[in-house]
Structure 1
Amino acid sequence: MTKTSDGKLLLVDQKIVKYSDRIAKGSGEFNDILKSSLTAFAGSLDDCDIWTMISASEVNVQHLKIPHVPKKQLRNVIYWAAKKENPIDEKEVVFDYEIQGDIADQGIPKHSVMVYTVPRSEVQKVKITGYLLNPQISRSRKKDISIFINRRYIKNYKLIQAVIDGYHSFLMVGKYPIALIHLEMDPSLLDVNVHPQKYEVKFVNESILAYHIETYVKQALMEKTHQIPETINTII
């Protein structure tokens, strides 16, 4: 990984190292394998500042270069590009991705994207419920979109935007919905230390959570139920 000019981390390459399941993590033999593999892959250990470990034994990580497309099409393009490289069975795994930044590939501007899939046995569930007011009742500001996690009010721009995007074709330009979304999840998936008063919260895999909220809002409005009772899977 490297840092871009704006300080963001960018995945530039990856390697999967296989070892015997008889070798215990943290043992001397495991450390020797890790050091030798890292040295062969990245060169001097003095140049390696970032270490990470993913607990899922069967996690699959892909680094893709995706051409610039309209925002609404991006997730679909990433999904099919990943599926072309590595067949994905959605009944068996959970799919997610992270856009690392913009790069130039042979002079063509593209997104650098890290894609990963994890067996469903390695995931936790998030319960989403919500109440949506009729689009005919709207506001000129976003302040009437309320997000709660485990019965606690929080702020998260990406989730608020997901609600707005779900209402997109139902509202006039410049108008915002009135909605309440409640999430129930394991607290370990949250980072409440972003804001001094702990109102602003970040999530593990915000993109997939926002995608589901947008989808459920749109579906509820199309079906005119104005309620969201759903349970989804998110990667730990």
Structure 2
Amino acid sequence: MNILLLEDDLILSAELTKFLENNRFSVKKVYDGESFITELKQNQPYDLYLLDINVPKISGLEVCEKIREQDHNTPIIIISANGDISDKKNAFGRLADDFLVKPFQFEELLLRISSLLRRNSNNNPAADEVITVADLIINKTEQKVFRNGNEINLTVKEFQLLAYLADAQGRTVSKQQITENVWEHNFNTNTNTVEVYINFLRKKIDKDFSVKLIHTRSGFGYYLNPS
């Protein structure tokens, strides 16, 4: 899941990003409202927006309003040191989904994010057809794959293998499981077909990136996760 974070406190921004990435979110951080709007226009849609109010150039509340002019569904959480009822009314009046007063526990933020994403997924069944792992996006409905915003062309079998690894959500899957679910029949597990296709994927998915996503657990199988 991709989160776009607007926070001008460099220390808090870095700590939030590290915490969320450790919980398997991909985070893009910006430090002023103008950069946020630019990022919003230039890159793929995000799954959630996390906005501080008092940031340079364009305030978080104005950013929230601009988001809602085009996007009525993606969850927005406001984070602010100003916790007066008037501040909350202003945020909810601009159709923010939640408001969290600083300082807050990161675990509470995680609970609120999970709740909003679960609610959004229930309201939008197609959301389940998009899987995100770090900067990798797998659109199962359209059978398209993007990494760092760039589309990667895969064969049908390569796409099926990648989607199966992604569906495992970081768990290791064996060659036997892959052959039964991707090839849909049992063939000789001594064959190197699985290894061949894993190598195909690594060349397309990982070769040009420092962060590798496809891993081997020796003696057990393969898994998909940021290293």
Tell me which protein shows more helix as a share of its residues.
2
Structure of greater relative contact order (alpha carbons < 8 Å, 6+ residues apart): 1
Tell me which protein shows more strand as a share of its residues.
1
TM-score tier, shorter chain, comes to under 0.3
TM-score (norm 2): 0.23
